[in-house]
Structure 1
């Protein structure tokens, strides 16, 4: 590559970074990133405590430390969130074993989709995601309980025979992911956030750069999937990209 071509490439990358930074700053300036926390702290929890009415949440479980809320997007999408103020995946609170196992709790609440749908929603359709610090819209930890994209379902089905309990790099939705398998018992035994921090060295000091997802596999195991932010590839580590809130898989 000639010196001129290298210079052009560097200038192009600088321009891309500037555009991304300006867009991100503009979005934050105009967006209320505390909307979910305001719903939890000003409506759901006080309503449950004072009137035994969690609305607009579906459930407030103070003992277990979480609420569930129907998301505005998608016919079946729900959010599971802590009743405590926890900003997101980068929060040190998630590295404390005493903090509720929110991923396991969210998987337990997948029956919400069946209840709203009015007929069985199989596990093969359902997924959990939490976006990175750079790929989310709200500064209150929220796990998306929603449907998996059909193309991701097909990719996972194809990958199932080669997946195991070690993190493996794989490509989903044109982005690089790390994927390992879990049993249902392992999901319940240890927080997926702690597992990611302990098992992926790059995540230990940079948890905010990662998004996490969970889906079932055709052999009964679960796939825990981590995506890392990569600005060069326009990847904000928005794990939600593996979900399709219109739930085509049900049709």
Structure 2
């Protein structure tokens, strides 16, 4: 069932104006010191040329030109990685993500979890890891990037108890003080699940609305014992201060790693 919020479908300029009014009313927002094109310049100007010319992806950890993505260790966090398209894709609102031949960025991102776990030094259950893409109103970069990192411990607990209530439709959950919609994805692997298309199918006007949304994918084991994923969607709510930043459900300090038993892994170089 589609959950409709009162501001759904507001055009970007209107939303931007509301954010500005809220900022003036409640004090200045945190300034963004970063160039919004840094990720694009790193991937397009350095990682891809180095991979093609010298067979080394530096400063990225990996570049797959055929699959259309690069993997970069983020400076923030113990184990956080970013999966970044090698093509110019501005963000979740980019129409190219819904084209039939679009790369499966989320599927590729899930396969990068071993890099994060190697940084942590041991394996962890799939329920402890998450992927996120922020909305156009909460991101710092104008190049699509999927955050690959640990799930916040309290969010893991909340999702564990919510599992029996999550089906293949959309179910409302309150996480970190924000209302998310949740839906079930079955399978041990995320390849072919295509979260961007799933979100678009649930919107009245994807071309206008996608940028107002954030997506989070969390690994899980369903109560019936089958592996799968919980797909979470939040929407910008300017008047309540919700910028639709799914990254808020992750923990870049990865505190959950201290409590999860697992098989030791060699240290990441």
> The TM-score by the shorter chain falls in which range?
0.7 to 0.9
Aligned twin of 1:129? 132
Q: Choose the corresponding residue for 1:83, options 83, 86, 98.
A: 86
CA contact (8 A) 1:86 1:140 kept: yes
Match of 2:42 in 1: 39
Tell me if structure 1 keeps the 8 A contact 2:212–2:244. Answer: yes
Please list the CA deviations of residues 7-55 of structure 1 after superposition, one character each: whole Å capped at 9, or x if unmatched. xxxxxx999525279956x946x53100000100111001101111101
Q: In 2, are the aligned partners of 1:113 and 1:121 still within 8 Å (CA)?
A: no
Residue of structure 1 aligned with 2:171, choices 168, 172, 175: 168
- Going from structure 1 to structure 2, the CA distance change for 1:186 and 1:97 (only over 3 Å counts) comes to farther
Structure 2: unaligned runs, 5 residues or longer: 1-17, 259-269
Structure 2 residue 202 is matched with structure 1 residue 232:
no
Instruction: Tell me by how many angstroms 1:205 deviates.
Output: 2.7
What displacement does 1:117 show? 2.3
> How far apart are 1:118 and its partner, in Å?
2.6
Q: Deviations over 1:164-209 (max 9, x none)?
A: 1111111111101010010137842242101100123365531000
Aligned residue for 2:22?
Answer: 17
Does residue 184 (structure 1) correspond to residue 191 (structure 2)? The answer is: no
Distance 1:22 1:96 in 2: 40
Q: TM-score, normalised by structure 2?
A: 0.82
User: What do you get for the CA RMSD once the two structures are aligned?
Assistant: 2.2
**How far apart in 1 are the matches of 2:204 and 2:100?**
19
Larger RCO (alpha carbons 8 Å, 6+ apart): 2
**What is the aligned length?**
237
> Aligned partners of 1:20 and 1:49: how far apart in 2?
50
Distance change in 2, residues 1:185/1:205 (3 Å): farther
Match of 2:255 in 1: 248
The CA distance in 1 between the partners of 2:238 and 2:214, in whole Å, is 14
CA contact (8 A) 2:93 2:207 kept: no
Matches within 5 A, 1:98-109: 98-109=101-112
Conserved 8 A contact 1:78-1:144: yes
Distance in 1 (CA, whole Å) between partners of 2:250 and 2:19 is: 31
Segment drifting more, 143-152 vs 118-127: 118-127
SS in 1 for 2:208: coil
TM-score scaled to structure 1, two decimals? 0.88
Determine the C-alpha separation between the residues in 2 that align with 1:204 and 1:183. 27
1-structure distance, mates of 2:201, 2:37: 29
Name the structure where helix makes up a greater proportion of residues. Answer: 1
Would you say 1:57 and 2:60 are equivalent positions?
Answer: yes
Cα 1:230–1:118 change in 2 (3 A) is same
The 1:16–1:216 alpha-carbon spacing in structure 2 relative to 1, beyond 3 Å, is: same
Structure whose alpha-carbon radius of gyration is higher = 1
